[in-house]
Structure formats: C-alpha cells, structure tokens
Amino acid sequence: VQLQASGGGLVQPGGSLRLSCTASERMTREYVVGWFRLAPGKEREGVSALRFSDREVLYADSVKGRFTISRNTAENSVYLQMNNLQPEDTALYYCAAKSRRIISSALLSSWAYDIWGQGTLVTVSS
C-alpha cells in the first residue's frame, strides 16, 4: 500500500483545511491510520489516529476539539478536518498506516506505523 497525502496550503488564523490521505489499495478493517506533523525546530508529533476495527479515535491534546479524523471507505481515504487553525499548527503533515492492530497507548506513536505517505505543508499565517 502507498499513501498519498494532500490538502495542505496557506490559511489565515481561525481558518480551516481538510487533509486527505488516500491509499493505493483497499485498507481492510485491520488497518490503523494516523496523522503526524513535523514543525520547524520541533519533534514529530502524533496528531490523530483512527483504528478501523473498532473505530477508536485519538487526538493529541493540542488539537482536541479542533481537528476531526474520519474515513471514507468507498474512496479508500482518511481525512483530517482542521478547524480554527492557529500559527502553531504550521507544519508538514504526514499520514501513516499500519496493516495490523495498534494498541491504544501507541496510536499516536510514529514507531508503531510502517507505511508513510509524503508530507503536505500546512501554513497558518496572517
């Protein structure tokens, strides 16, 4: 499986973007998909994850209440709706996947994933 991330861009503070992560092949119910971001001078951060088997969703505290992860089975895609974006959300956003179950405590851990897409840049600036 290959992942294609898209949807990044330049947005003003308070604005919204929707990132898409589309897989080259069907992702079965065993899959887990996560979104991560890498900002200049910071470590990679797990933003959100969705475990298909039981629909468990997890968000980083920094985005809780503003970001929503969802899945479109027909389009083989996972989306990250980002609302009320702030300058601190500026980063290169990556989607990642694992074809096996990831335990809840590791859903936002990059080491748990072994399929990575290219990044899409999100810039929040006035």
Number of H helices and E strands in the chain, helices first, is 0, 11
Both structure tokens of 3: 């992942």
pLDDT tens digits, residue range 104-126? 999 999 999 999 999 999 999 99
Q: What angle do CA 96, 80, 23 make, to 5 degrees?
A: 45
Percent of the chain, pLDDT > 70? 100
The residue to which tokens 């980063």 are assigned: 91
Q: What is the pLDDT of residues 63-87, one digit of tens each?
A: 999 999 999 999 899 999 999 999 9
Measured between alpha carbons, how far is 83 from 120 in angstroms, rounded to an integer? 17
